[in-house]
Structure formats: C-alpha cells, structure tokens
Chain A
Amino acid sequence: MTGVPGASVPSSSVPGEAVPSSSVPSSSVPGASVPVPAAAAAESMAAAASGIELRDIHVRFPLSNGLVNSLRGVPRPVVRAVDGVNLRVGRGEVVALVGESGSGKTTLARSLVRLLPITSGKVLLDGRDVTDISGAALRAYRRKVQIVFQDPYESLDPRQTVLDICAEPLDVHGLARGEERQARVERALEEAGLSPARRLLARYPHELSGGQRQRVAIAAAMVLEPEIVVADEPVSMLDVSLRVGILRILLELRRTRNVGYLFITHDLSLAWLIADRICVMYLGRIVEEGPAEQVIRDPRHPYTRALLSVLPSPDPSRRRQRRLLVGETPDAARIPSGCRFYPRCPLQSERGRTEDPPLFQVGPGHTSACWLVEHGEQLPPLPELDGALTPPAPAAGTE
C-alpha cells in the first residue's frame, strides 16, 4: 500500500530493531555509508575472521576537467565507481556480486586484487589490515588472493605454453623449480579438469578450445593454492554446455581446498545456482545482501525485484510479469543525490528523494538499502510501468 510515490515511510511499525539509524545516514557525504551492525555482529562471531573483508571501500577516478574549468577553479569531476562497499568473503564461501555494467563490480574486483588502487576504506585478510601493504607483504597477499578473468581468449599470453602460463605465478613468487614446478602445474591442471595434464603442457593457447583455455586460466590462479579467488564472470564467454563443467570445478575446489570465492556476474540465475550469499550492486554500492535463498525468493529491494522479474524463464508457459525499469544505469560521475536508485525506482518513497538509505536489516543476514524496508517490512508490489520502453515520449503507433 505504500507503493504510491510520495507515501512516507510507515512509522507505525516497531522502531529500532537493529536499525542503524542512530548514526545519521548522510546523503551528501559519499563516505558515510553505515556498516550494518547486525551483519558485523554475525561476522565477528566464531571463526569468521578467516577470509577477506572490505570495509567502506571507495574507488574514485578523477576525470579531466578541461583548461577553462581548471582555471576557473571548478573542481574536477570524479567517477565514484565504488562508493562505500562493505563485503566479506569467508574461506569456503561463495559470495556472488551481481550487477549490471556500470555497477562497479569489476572495479571492486580489480581493486581487491590490487590491480587498481583503493581510494579509501580498509581491506582485511584473515583479520589483518592489508590496505597499505607493499613489497613482500603485498606479494604474500597476492599468493592468497587470486583472480580469474572473464575472457580466456585475452587473459592468456599467446606466446607462452600452458606450462609457462601456469608456472609463472610459481616463478614470480620463487616457489618451485624444475620437477616440482612441473608437478605442481600438472596437479593444478588436473584439478581444473584438464587430464591428462602432461599432454597439454607444451601447447599454446591457440591450440585450445575456449573451455580448455578457461580451465588453464583457473589452473594458473589455483597453482598458488590461494585462499580467496575473485572470479570475474568466469563463464560468461563460454557455451552453456561447458559452463557446468567450469562451475563444478570451482565448487569442487571450494570443497577440497576451502577456497572462498567472490563470484562476479551479471546473471542472477547463475548466482542462484552456486552462491551462498548474494550481493546486488547498483551504481557503486551494495543495495541488497543476503543468503541466496532469501535474496532470490524474498527480495527486499525494488532493484533486485525488478532484475528478477526480467530474467527470461526457460519455461515458455511460465513467463514472468516483467517489471521494466526506465532507462539505464546512470553515469557513476553523476550519482543521483538521495537514494541513488530513486530516479529509476518504481516505488519512489518520499524519503528516498532526498536521503541516501543505509542498509537495513530485513531478515537474518539479509539487508536492503531501501527506506521502504527500514523496519524490515515487505516491499509493496512493483507497479506496472506503462511506456517503460519509451521513457519520456510515448511511442505512438506508426505505419
């Protein structure tokens, strides 16, 4: 019933259960997103210290401003690609980070493995602050946190053999030579489902199929026996029949080696298959996070709900009621004030127009950044948007 734009946040529900509203959520300062106390409490429990943790991570890129604006003292515009993200990936856990292009998910992944500098925030590995490490400490970090890229056609050096590609991490870290080097590479390849590995060692990437290439990329990431692997859309370039094999290998390594994954994807249905937890990212911020079952079956953010509604269903007799959103994700250099989703939100709460919502607890380990669920309530149904195809000007039928 609160779905009408302009409806105020219901104040009748029991206030204050684990809601972080005591620290005033600020709409103007981007850095002020509030870590969720409930989730934080859960994390500090028991053996939760192992794994990687991000606290209020920001990654910004300054844009060029032009001479005139610079002389006039106009501040340089800044792209806030990652804008205050809190995230944890424990050992043996699969966390899916889901977002559309422009959501900042890949920027986050790359800054996590230090391919991009973090502007502010903290990274903790097994409870230790690793934000500002360099030199030997950074090398040690990279042994523990590896990345697998999306495109197996571009991520492998075409002039190196499979053996050299997979052994390079060992060489860089000075970990193994000669026979042991080869033995470790073979084991990693076998684990990535390439057997017999011995026959592949002398091959070059162009001699391999796409699926085999991605397995080589996985082997190269796994040869250092990392604790955490950031997998950036690892199967989106592969045919459906090959995806299952790759995913199975990743999950198998979780079981046998207790590897934790940050699995980056644009595909919620893929996240549904493999993730323990799902984080939905929109314009640089996580807007909903929770156990996969909760996020998919009981989404509490209008964005998540809209995304789920447009997933094509493989069953033609069970087409979903599409709830299209207007337009596309805005530019990260111009993040809307108030709730960043407000301009595209089908529910548009009055408060969202001006105030940036923090993550509210809506269930065990389940949070959503929407004023409409401030006290854990259900979202009203999304209204059908007529003319969602044609945002401002309705398409009059022609011909």
Chain B
Amino acid sequence: MALLEVRDLRVEFGIQDGTVKAVDGVSFDLEPGDSLGLVGESGCGKTTTALAIMGLLPANGRVSSGSIKLNGEELTTLSKKEMRLHRWRDLSIIFQGAMNALNPVQRVGDQVREPILLHEPGVSYKEANRRVSRLFELVGIEPERKKRYPHEFSGGMRQRAMIAMALACNPKIVIGDEPTTALDVMVQAQILELLERLRAELGLAIILITHDLSVVAETCTRALVMYAGQLAETGTTVDLHDRPLHPYTGRLIGSVPDIDGPRDLGAGIPGRPPDLADPPPGCRFNPRCDHAMAVCVERYPEPRSFGAGHAVACHAVDEAGRLRAPRELPVLPSAVAVLEAERRAAEIADAMLAEPVA
C-alpha cells in the first residue's frame, strides 16, 4: 500500500452550458521520500489534480470517478469535516505566489503558529512557539524574525515562511503548486534546494506541480506529463528526458531552452491547447500531433507500460516501445485535411513574412 494512491481520477467542473472534464483519468502512487513532478501547460489539469487530493475543489467542481487513497483511506468520500483532519497534518500545499497570501497586519510567526494551535489542540501556546522557532530554522530564517511583519520580509523569505507553515503540523505529503514560479532564478534555486533537503531529512513526499520541465528534471525523480486533463506519459525524469515516447513529451522537451544545448528555437508545438469544454475526441493531443492516426480520433489510448514505471498513452508507440514515424499508418482523412490546411497556412504566412517590405 502506497502512502498516496491516485487511481483513474476524473474531475469535472460545472459551467454555464455543460461540464468541463478538467482531469480525465490520472493515476499515480506516492511513497514517503518520493518527489513526483506533475508537468503540463496551463489548463492541463495539474492544479485541479492537486486540489482534488487536498479536498479543495471549488463549489462547481467534483470528483466524478476514481479514487484517492491516503494510507489506504479513501479521501474522495470524506465529508468536509473529516477531510479537514487530514489537511495540514497529512497533506499540505504551497501555492504559487503564496507569499502574497500572508496577512499583512499579523506577525509572520503568529501566522505560522496558527495551524498548530488549530489542528493540534493538545499543544500549548509555548510549545507551539518553540515549534515555530524550529520551523524557521529549518527553512533558513532567523527565528528572531518571528515577530516581524510580512512587508519586512523579502519575496524569497515570505515563500520560506509559507513553506514553514505548510510543514507546521508535520505533514507526510507536501504539494508545491508552482512554488517558485514568481521568484527570481537565484531565489528559486534556494527554495528548490530547501525542498530537496526537507525531503531527504524529513522523509517528506513531495508533489511538485510546474510547467517548467527543467525544474522537474532538477528536483524530481519521477514525473507525470499531462495534456488537457489526460495522462500523456509517466516515468523517471531520466527516462522522460532520454527516451520520451509520447510526441507531446518530445515536443515539450524540445521547447525548453538549455544553455548546454544548441542555439536554436526548436520546433515548438503547432496549434494551441484545446478548449476543455469541447475537447477533441480520442487523444486530446491529436489535432496538434504529427503522428495522429485514425484511431487517435476514435479513442483515448490506454496507457501502456514500457519498462519500470515508464508508461505512455499513445497509439503511435509500437509494441517495442518505439514511436512510429509520422503518418506511417493510414491517417484519418479529416486529420489529414486539418494537418494539410495548417501546413498550407504556415506556408502562406512564411511567404508573407518573406515578402520584402517596401
């Protein structure tokens, strides 16, 4: 039994005219000391997955099927009150820009202390204060700064304080939702190093949600690549980098700038992310995929495993775990037409760009 078991999770949001399937069949396991990256672009469902795990979905959102088990206990059926017992103590989350969520008129130390007093009624005021000091030390802030207000902290220090708060009740799992996105590179490196150390020292399991593949490669041992709510590929970060199987993973890696790589922009990904209220049928990546075949439009490819922990959901990957060359197989006429039209449009645009300007 894993610490956290997510199986075939589906999350829907009710909107004016219908529903949006924001997460559509995501599964993973998490063990103590694990670091798992959830990677994808905006709208891919990575944050929704986190909110579902935390039991923090907004009113119009619900887990429509699947299960989330913490130490074997099903979380999706818990009442709000029961779920509250797990938050902070078993699971906590650090949001992007969380440092701006601190109350400006309350001392930082008091804010870090709050979850302790709230969730561990047996803990005395004095003991809680001592714990805050230890937490401050743990995240690299001088404990004397407890009495300071948020505006007296720099951005990086406020983010550290938020991490301290997330750790206040000794959770087993910490989810970081783009925890370094709003920070400078140097501060980002400091925070990532801190998370890494906490994982090693405290045996925390960390789920890191980010759009930045480099950040995941740097901090996580495994990752899950999501596209438009669906799982595209999962595996160790080394596998995903060295042997990406899903066309989307490959394209995504190709779009990440690397100072050790060549100075070229890479291919990018044509088209744009789909409207989740009206997603393309089958594999949702099919309209942007140059490996798309008839079957890709017909149904979503069940994830298949290729080696330890490496799984991919793609029809174009053959039994030997190789990505077939683009359009080696018969392609759906409509998909051909779309791809053709796109290529022509690109050619026309290129031609117009190449025209000399008077």
Instruction: State the A residues within 8 Å of B (CB).
Output: 100-101, 190-191, 193, 195, 209-211, 225, 239-245, 247-248, 251-253, 256-257, 266-270, 272-274, 292, 296, 306-308, 310-319, 322, 324-325, 327-329, 388-393, 395-399
Instruction: Please tell me if the beta carbons of B353 and A316 are within 8 angstroms of each other in the complex.
Output: no
Instruction: Please tell me if the beta carbons of B137 and A195 are within 8 angstroms of each other in the complex.
Output: no
The 8 Å CB contact of B272, one of A211, A244, A307, is A211
Q: Which residues of A contact B265 (CB under 8 A)?
A: 244, 247-248, 251, 273-274
- A191-B353, A211-B272 are known contacts. Are A268 and B259 too (CB-CB below 8 A)? yes
Q: Which residues of B contact A308 (CB under 8 A)?
A: 259
Q: Which residues of A contact B211 (CB under 8 A)?
A: 239-240
- A195-B348, A245-B268 are known contacts. Are A310 and B186 too (CB-CB below 8 A)? yes
Instruction: State the B residues within 8 Å of A (CB).
Output: 41-42, 134-135, 137-143, 154-156, 170, 184-190, 192-194, 197, 201-202, 211-215, 217-219, 236-238, 241-242, 251-253, 255-260, 263-269, 272-273, 345, 348-349, 352-357
The 8 Å CB contact of B217, one of A193, A266, A316, is A316
Instruction: Please tell me if the beta carbons of A389 and B186 are within 8 angstroms of each other in the complex.
Output: no
Identify 22 residue pairs between A and B in the complex whose beta-carbon atoms are under 8 Å apart, listed by A's number.
A100-B185, A190-B349, A190-B352, A195-B349, A225-B357, A239-B42, A241-B272, A243-B268, A256-B353, A269-B259, A273-B264, A312-B188, A312-B215, A313-B218, A314-B217, A314-B253, A315-B260, A318-B260, A328-B155, A396-B137, A398-B134, A399-B134
- A274-B265, A324-B186, A328-B156 are known contacts. Are A311 and B259 too (CB-CB below 8 A)? yes
Q: Which residues of B contact A322 (CB under 8 A)?
A: 189, 193
- A257-B357, A292-B263 are known contacts. Are A312 and B217 too (CB-CB below 8 A)? yes
Name the distance in Å between A226's Cβ and chain B's nearest Cβ: 12
Instruction: Please tell me if the beta carbons of B260 and A324 are within 8 angstroms of each other in the complex.
Output: no
Instruction: Please tell me if the beta carbons of A266 and B185 are within 8 angstroms of each other in the complex.
Output: yes
The 4 closest A-B pairs by CB, nearest first: A244-B268, A310-B189, A241-B269, A312-B214
Name the distance in Å between B236's Cβ and chain A's nearest Cβ: 8
Instruction: Please tell me if the beta carbons of A393 and B137 are within 8 angstroms of each other in the complex.
Output: yes
Q: Which residues of A contact B170 (CB under 8 A)?
A: 399
Q: Which residues of B contact A272 (CB under 8 A)?
A: 257, 259, 263
Instruction: Please tell me if the beta carbons of A313 and B140 are within 8 angstroms of each other in the complex.
Output: no
Q: Which residues of A contact B251 (CB under 8 A)?
A: 241
Complex Cα–Cα for A322 and B194 (A)? 13
Name the distance in Å between A252's Cβ and chain B's nearest Cβ: 5
Q: Which residue of A lies closest to B191 (CB)?
A: A389
Name the distance in Å between A174's Cβ and chain B's nearest Cβ: 20
Instruction: Please tell me if the beta carbons of B259 and A319 are within 8 angstroms of each other in the complex.
Output: no
Instruction: Please tell me if the beta carbons of A314 and B213 are within 8 angstroms of each other in the complex.
Output: yes
Complex Cα–Cα for A314 and B253 (A)? 8
Complex Cα–Cα for A100 and B211 (A)? 20
Instruction: Please tell me if the beta carbons of A314 and B241 are within 8 angstroms of each other in the complex.
Output: yes
Instruction: Please tell me if the beta carbons of B241 and A315 are within 8 angstroms of each other in the complex.
Output: yes
Q: Which residue of A lies closest to B266 (CB)?
A: A244
Name the distance in Å between B71's Cβ and chain A's nearest Cβ: 20
- A193-B349, A252-B353, A324-B189 are known contacts. Are A390 and B140 too (CB-CB below 8 A)? yes
Q: Which residue of A lies closest to B212 (CB)?
A: A312
- A239-B273, A269-B259 are known contacts. Are A307 and B134 too (CB-CB below 8 A)? no
Instruction: Please tell me if the beta carbons of B140 and A397 are within 8 angstroms of each other in the complex.
Output: no
Q: Which residues of A contact B263 (CB under 8 A)?
A: 272-273, 292
Name the distance in Å between B276's Cβ and chain A's nearest Cβ: 13
Q: Which residues of A contact B190 (CB under 8 A)?
A: 324, 388-389
Q: Which residues of A contact B156 (CB under 8 A)?
A: 328
Instruction: Please tell me if the beta carbons of A389 and B193 are within 8 angstroms of each other in the complex.
Output: yes
Instruction: Please tell me if the beta carbons of A312 and B186 are within 8 angstroms of each other in the complex.
Output: no
Instruction: Please tell me if the beta carbons of A266 and B184 are within 8 angstroms of each other in the complex.
Output: yes
Complex Cα–Cα for A322 and B190 (A)? 9
A-B pairs under 8 A by CB, number: 174
Complex Cα–Cα for A243 and B256 (A)? 10
Complex Cα–Cα for A70 and B201 (A)? 52
Instruction: Please tell me if the beta carbons of B257 and A312 are within 8 angstroms of each other in the complex.
Output: no
- Given A241-B268, A244-B255, A398-B138, output 19 extra A-B contacts at Cβ < 8 Å: A190-B349, A210-B42, A225-B357, A239-B41, A239-B42, A240-B212, A241-B252, A241-B269, A242-B269, A253-B353, A266-B184, A307-B186, A314-B256, A317-B238, A328-B154, A328-B184, A389-B190, A390-B137, A399-B202
Most buried by B among A100, A242, A256, A316: A316
Q: Which residues of B contact A242 (CB under 8 A)?
A: 268-269, 272
Instruction: Please tell me if the beta carbons of A389 and B217 are within 8 angstroms of each other in the complex.
Output: no
Instruction: Please tell me if the beta carbons of A270 and B349 are within 8 angstroms of each other in the complex.
Output: no
Name the distance in Å between A355's Cβ and chain B's nearest Cβ: 25
Q: Which residues of B contact A389 (CB under 8 A)?
A: 140, 190, 193-194, 197
- A247-B265, A312-B218, A313-B218 are known contacts. Are A328 and B186 too (CB-CB below 8 A)? yes
Complex Cα–Cα for A20 and B265 (A)? 38
Q: Which residue of B lies closest to A331 (CB)?
A: B154
Q: Which residues of A contact B155 (CB under 8 A)?
A: 101, 328
Q: Which residues of B contact A247 (CB under 8 A)?
A: 265
Name the distance in Å between A236's Cβ and chain B's nearest Cβ: 10
Most buried by A among B143, B218, B219, B238: B218
- A240-B41, A256-B357, A319-B218 are known contacts. Are A395 and B264 too (CB-CB below 8 A)? no
Instruction: Please tell me if the beta carbons of B252 and A240 are within 8 angstroms of each other in the complex.
Output: yes
Name the distance in Å between A34's Cβ and chain B's nearest Cβ: 28
Name the distance in Å between B26's Cβ and chain A's nearest Cβ: 19
The 8 Å CB contact of B192, one of A269, A312, A314, is A312
Q: Which residue of A lies closest to B261 (CB)?
A: A314
Instruction: Please tell me if the beta carbons of A316 and B241 are within 8 angstroms of each other in the complex.
Output: yes
Q: Which residue of A lies closest to B141 (CB)?
A: A390
The 8 Å CB contact of B260, one of A307, A313, A395, is A313
Q: Which residues of B contact A324 (CB under 8 A)?
A: 186, 189-190, 193
Complex Cα–Cα for A311 and B188 (A)? 9
Most buried by B among A311, A314, A329, A390: A314
Instruction: Please tell me if the beta carbons of A328 and B187 are within 8 angstroms of each other in the complex.
Output: yes
Q: Which residues of B contact A241 (CB under 8 A)?
A: 41, 251-252, 255, 268-269, 272-273
Q: Which residues of A contact B135 (CB under 8 A)?
A: 398
Q: Which residues of A contact B355 (CB under 8 A)?
A: 256
Complex Cα–Cα for A118 and B67 (A)? 60
Complex Cα–Cα for A118 and B143 (A)? 42
Q: Which residue of B lies closest to A396 (CB)?
A: B137
Name the distance in Å between B322's Cβ and chain A's nearest Cβ: 21
Name the distance in Å between B228's Cβ and chain A's nearest Cβ: 12
Instruction: Please tell me if the beta carbons of A267 and B137 are within 8 angstroms of each other in the complex.
Output: no
Complex Cα–Cα for A308 and B260 (A)? 10
